[in-house]
Structure 1
Amino acid sequence: MPPVQVSLNPLSVLSSHLLALFFGFSYVGSLYAVKNARLRFSETRSDAHHGVQPGSRDDPAVIRARLTAVTFATLFNCGVIYALVARSTPPSFDRAFSSTLTILGVRWPDSILSSLQTPLLFLGPLYGSYLAGTLPGQSRYSLDHNFEMFWSWVGFRNYTWGPLTEEIVFRACVLAVYALGGAARWKMIAFAPLVFGLAHVHHAWDTYNRYGRTKDALRRAMLSTLFQTAYTTLFGAHTSYLFLRTGSLLPPLAAHVFCNIMGVPQIQNEMRRFPERKQIIIGVYVLGIVLFAYTLGPWTDAPASLYWRAPEGFWRGAVGQPA
């Protein structure tokens, strides 16, 4: 069979930027397009049974509606990637579908180490949990609490469906359109996280309303949103690197779930709580950062990664043509 002739870059740089922004807008916009997914603010602070304010972000009914909304948004965005692939290849569903899965990183990583690399950065917080005795198997570890945390609707959102849909949209789909536009790897690592960071700005509205729509509430909303946007942008740069480096969705997904479980490192709180271990805590934090940097390249090395090729080889490799 003669090789498939495809264009070098199916998208322009401008089209890549616009599509990346569209993916982020459609994901966040779906939370507001569906009536039951919109947050409702009232004077009632909580219900009598679950301690959750009806219509709030943690209301199970709102969570179910929001998860449904982002699921449809995610499927739609994946459909856009498929349409781009199908438009630029011969009319073969099997070929276009297979190429789309490859572009979206639906493959096992070459090494399991790529999914274990991110926890090294949290070596300090893990040591803090060890000192507190809250790691699995320790005296203060609560199986009931963790079971409830992971198997509630809040847990399903935070540790399963939320990370999965966000990684598909903000890593796979966004990075795909940049790669289809021929963007250099460093540009993808720089631009894609901005879309992910900006997608969290809408949380300011929730914070502002939860704290009473006062000047203090506005200040809280602005500060928390600035921090969250900066944190998620940095996190997005790391997971974008993992996706590009491995060509697989699993390592960034594992990093996302792990970081959601761990939360933001609290080194100051840990040093105040265990002053006699202050130097050791600092040392373990530094050790984690060093090990993270040292293993970032070797542990994520994946010769089969489609995205880590030269830009001119991406599209040819995506449709099964030698680069």
Structure 2
Amino acid sequence: MPLVFAEPPISLSTAHSLAVFFAGTYVGSLYFSKNARLSFKQGGIKLKQGQQRTKEQDERWRDDPDVIRARLTAASLSTLSSCTAVVLLVWKLLRWAPKSVTDNVDQEFPIALETTLARLGFDLPSSWLELVLPCLVTPVLFLGPLYASWLSSSLPFQRHWSLKCSVLPLFTTWQGVRNYVVGPITEEIVFRSCSLATYHLAGASRAKMIFLSPWLFGLAHVHHAWDIYNRYGRTGSAARRAVIATLFQTSYTSLFGFHTAFLFMRTGSLIPPVIAHIFCNIMGLPQYSAQVAMFPHRRKVIRMAYLLGIAGYIVTMNRWTSSPRSLYWRSAHDVAMF
């Protein structure tokens, strides 16, 4: 059980500043080194509607292997620095706490480290049910898309699925490592673990932590607009496309942030949010219209699967995520601790 405080030891404005710092250093690290920065040819290029231009030889695009490698290194170091900042914060708060908390000065930092790891969700659940059930909530929500995947025989061990083509590219290419390994892990640590840990220390309400903190996660994707604008020709049309795409991405990443913030707070563990992040990156956004067009004779069943997924999510999001170990979701009968 992590060391707790009887009253919020930091102010809400301090928590806001730290959350902005975590998000800013994470995004900023992607542009800190020359190897991580993108470069594009200057000047506008007229293209057909929706057409992406061809990459020039001397350009550096987001999916270039050397750019991905540099950015993965930068993001990992930024994540480590954010975790270190939380450890130092808790250590400082511990040193300011009454001496009855710990009488041994030599034990202050080990206690701060241990309690910070617990606050960041690095503790393992006490049972396999506490580990597995929260990880199944997101697949329940995706019942409709999963059913459509089953119709197309692309689920694991179906006809159009194979270990070589369906799994290995996720973990043996630089894009796969970014999208399905390092990206989800580092983003959940920074935007969920570190941010929510500081907001909890500030005594923020559950509603604020779930519905306000994820907006930083959404806004952290705004920088992709520059990439879209350049890839689609640096014209007025490309600018409009970049704005629309960025607004859409900011919206759905914020919605996703609400979901993973809830999972993290309910379970007190980082594992369910990371698994949900990886799963959603693999599945992509639901394509209801395209799936109905592909299987028109199953239109009603697909619609029913989508509705059942939403209903199942509403039911399971509370029942499958409860954990008595979570510091972030105390019952009304418990004394508030921070």
Q: What TM-score do you get using the length of structure 1 for normalisation?
A: 0.91
Instruction: Indicate yes or no: 2:97 matched with 1:87.
Output: no
- Structure 1 partner of 2:211: 190
Alpha-carbon separation, structure 1, partners of 2:94 and 2:82 = 19
Seen in structure 2, the aligned counterparts of structure 1 residues 314 and 57 have a Cα distance that, compared at 3 Å, is farther
Alpha-carbon separation, structure 2, partners of 1:55 and 1:246 = 41
- Structure 1 partner of 2:15: 16
Q: Secondary structure at the match of 2:114?
A: helix
- Structure 2 partner of 1:151: 172
Alpha-carbon separation, structure 2, partners of 1:47 and 1:140 = 35
- Structure 2 partner of 1:115: 135
Verify the 8 A CA contact 2:260 2:276 in the aligned structure 1.
yes
- Structure 2 partner of 1:65: 70
1:232 aligned to which of 228, 247, 253: 253
Aligned residues: 308
Seen in structure 2, the aligned counterparts of structure 1 residues 138 and 103 have a Cα distance that, compared at 3 Å, is same
Query: Which string of whole-angstrom CA distances, capped at 9 and with x for unpartnered residues, describes residues 64-98 of structure 1?
Result: 10011011111111111011100011442210110
Query: Which string of whole-angstrom CA distances, capped at 9 and with x for unpartnered residues, describes residues 130-173 of structure 1?
Result: 11111122222243222123321100000000000000000000
Alpha-carbon separation, structure 1, partners of 2:274 and 2:4 = 33
Instruction: Indicate yes or no: 2:336 matched with 1:313.
Output: yes
Seen in structure 2, the aligned counterparts of structure 1 residues 5 and 28 have a Cα distance that, compared at 3 Å, is closer
Verify the 8 A CA contact 1:63 1:154 in the aligned structure 2.
yes
Verify the 8 A CA contact 1:109 1:251 in the aligned structure 2.
no
- Structure 2 partner of 1:35: 34
Verify the 8 A CA contact 1:6 1:88 in the aligned structure 2.
no
CA shift for structure 1 position 259: 0.3
Query: Which string of whole-angstrom CA distances, capped at 9 and with x for unpartnered residues, describes residues 152-202 of structure 1?
Result: 110000000000000000000010111010001111111111110110111
CA shift for structure 1 position 5: 9.4
Higher mean C-alpha deviation, range 100-109 or range 241-250: 100-109
CA shift for structure 1 position 313: 3.3
Seen in structure 2, the aligned counterparts of structure 1 residues 67 and 312 have a Cα distance that, compared at 3 Å, is farther
Letter in 1 for 2:221: H
Verify the 8 A CA contact 1:307 1:314 in the aligned structure 2.
no
2:318 aligned to which of 270, 292, 297: 297
- Structure 1 partner of 2:54: 45
Alpha-carbon separation, structure 2, partners of 1:10 and 1:38 = 39
Seen in structure 2, the aligned counterparts of structure 1 residues 312 and 170 have a Cα distance that, compared at 3 Å, is farther
Alpha-carbon separation, structure 1, partners of 2:266 and 2:155 = 31
Query: Which string of whole-angstrom CA distances, capped at 9 and with x for unpartnered residues, describes residues 100-145 of structure 1?
Result: 1011011123512011111101110011111111112222224322
Structure 1: which 5+ runs fail to align?
Answer: 316-323
- Structure 2 partner of 1:99: 115
Verify the 8 A CA contact 2:76 2:186 in the aligned structure 1.
yes
CA shift for structure 1 position 309: 2.1
- Structure 1 partner of 2:46: none
CA shift for structure 1 position 7: 6.4
Which ranges of 4 or more aligned residues in structure 1 deviate by more than 6 Å? none
Q: Percent identity?
A: 51
- Structure 2 partner of 1:278: 299
Alpha-carbon separation, structure 2, partners of 1:156 and 1:257 = 11
- Structure 2 partner of 1:132: 152
- Structure 2 partner of 1:287: 308
Seen in structure 2, the aligned counterparts of structure 1 residues 8 and 218 have a Cα distance that, compared at 3 Å, is same
Seen in structure 2, the aligned counterparts of structure 1 residues 54 and 128 have a Cα distance that, compared at 3 Å, is farther
